[in-house]
Chains A and B, each alone.
Chain A
Amino acid sequence: MVNYIWVGMTIIGIVFALINGTIDEVNKAVFDGAKEAVTICIGLISVLVFWLGMMRIAQESGLLEKLSKLFRPLVKIIFPEVPVNHPAMGYILSNMISNMFGLGNAATPLGIKAMEELKKLNDGKNSASRSMVTFLAINTASITIIPTTVIAIRMNYNSASPTEIVVPTIITTLLSAIGAILIDRYFHYRRSRKG
């Protein structure tokens, strides 16, 4: 499916540009897009190195395991296929907690570690497991407590109350995360009935 979407976006874009006369912009877009991607990855190196270094200490000292014990009941419901003592649990939890505090920088390396552990659980296969889909569904629904960037923008434009959107954002984000889990469950049951 990714293959079709990827080719689809590119071909539709090129055909559209030919008809629309925007071929110059498309030429520029090819190189700008590639450059932006590399810039993002280079920018990620610093946070990846730092947080994965920190997390290695947390893992070796057993801190990660303690954390996962604390939230075990909740996460067990959301990820029924992950064994309770598996390191994946610790990473999933730390990723969710970092996201909640709006620490996207710390969340990404932790999420990647979680994915690595989930892949091990899936015998190293190169297809997505049920737990991976669930984990990413929750991540794209992005549970936030403090949307710092948005508050900053609102302050910039002289909002009477820049933080008034905090509570509605929490409500929205919680409801949509629950929704994401339900949608994920629905697709899982559809898959298991077919197979």
Chain B
Amino acid sequence: MSLSTISITFIPLLIGSILLYGTFKQVPTYESFVEGGKEGIKIAVQIIPFLVGMLVAISIFRASGALEALMTLLRPLMNTIGVPAEIVPLLFIRPISGTAALGMTSDLIASHGPDSFIGRLASILQGSTDTTFYVLTVYFGAVGIKKMGDALKVGLLADVLGIIIAIVVVTFIFGMK
């Protein structure tokens, strides 16, 4: 519980220390704040086309049923390497859509129970991975990087590794039940 207290007090403390330290160092705090803030608007507007392009493609891929077909195709393979069938959709959604993944996680927790193997695995997957496509689109889009290099490959491979680690950790700590 002490950890979440730290988490709650962290932001106000951070703001307070930045302002106090700035005043102490005689920075024109308010003017600096406004100058920095102006940049924020620019960045937010700059990301729009990147995110629209990516999210429309992802939405089409999902709504057409293609994602589901891909999952059905890969499910037997995933089962043979020890991934429970129920968790497979979450694995595919997690890198591409944060909101959809969150919905799926609560659904899995609701239907299997929070203290089941599936419930725990979904909880840990949700907490320990991120929406790779979103992160790449926003960060590269904001600074105008067109060639992502190996970033997507590395990000997705890291996701696969994260999934394997999550399954091993849950099995090891809580057992299969």
Question: Contacting A36 at CB < 8 Å: which of B11, B55, B127, B130?
Answer: B55
Cβ-defined partner of B60 (8 Å) among A9, A38, A57: A9
CA distance A128 to B114 in the complex (A): 40
Q: Which of B34, B64, B99, B113 meets A53, CB within 8 Å? A: B34
Given A126-B144, A127-B145: A103 and B11 within 8 A (CB)?
yes
**A146 in complex: contacting residue of B7, B40, B95, CB < 8 Å:** B7
Query: Is the Cβ of A142 less than 8 Å from the Cβ of B130?
Result: yes
Across the interface, A51 reaches (CB within 8 A) one of B21, B40, B126, namely: B40
A141–B129 touching, CB < 8 Å: yes
Contact of B135 among A136, A149, A151 (CB under 8 A): A136
Contact of A37 with B60 in the complex, beta carbons under 8 Å: no
Pair A30/B139 contact, Cβ less than 8 Å:
no
Any B CB within 8 A of the CB of A112: yes
A60-B22 CB under 8 A given contacts A37-B56, A52-B40: yes
- The answer on a CB contact under 8 Å between B60 and A30 is yes
Known: A38-B48, A146-B4, A149-B102. A57 touches B54 (CB 8 A): no
What is the distance, in angstroms, from A188's C-beta to the closest C-beta of chain B? 8
Contact of A128 with B115 in the complex, beta carbons under 8 Å: no
Residue in B closest to A28 when the chains form the complex, CB atoms: B63
* Smallest CB separation, B40 vs chain A (Å): 3
Determine the chain B residues whose CB is within 8 A of the CB of A93 once the complex forms.
none
Q: Is there an interface contact between A153 and B105, defined as CB atoms closer than 8 Å?
A: yes
Partner of A2, one of B15, B36, B63, B148: B148
Take A16-B66, A26-B64, A137-B151 as given contacts and tell me if A176 and B162 are in contact as well, using a CB distance cutoff of 8 Å: yes
Q: B48 contacts which of A41, A154, A188 (Cβ < 8 Å)?
A: A41
A6, A30, A168, A184: the one contacting B154 at CB < 8 Å is A184
A71 at the binding interface (Cβ < 8 Å): no
Whether the Cβ atoms of B158 and A54 lie closer than 8 Å is no
Chain A to chain B contacts (Cβ below 8 Å), 19 pairs: A17-B64, A17-B65, A29-B64, A30-B60, A33-B60, A36-B55, A37-B55, A45-B41, A49-B38, A54-B14, A103-B7, A127-B145, A137-B151, A153-B114, A154-B123, A164-B120, A165-B127, A168-B173, A180-B158
Q: Which 6 A-B pairs have the closest CB atoms?
A: A56-B36, A147-B127, A33-B59, A48-B40, A159-B114, A127-B147
Q: A33-B60, A136-B136, A157-B110 are in contact. List 19 more A-B contacts (CB 8 A).
A: A6-B54, A17-B65, A17-B66, A22-B64, A25-B64, A29-B64, A48-B40, A51-B40, A53-B33, A57-B29, A60-B22, A101-B6, A115-B140, A132-B140, A133-B150, A136-B140, A164-B115, A175-B165, A183-B158
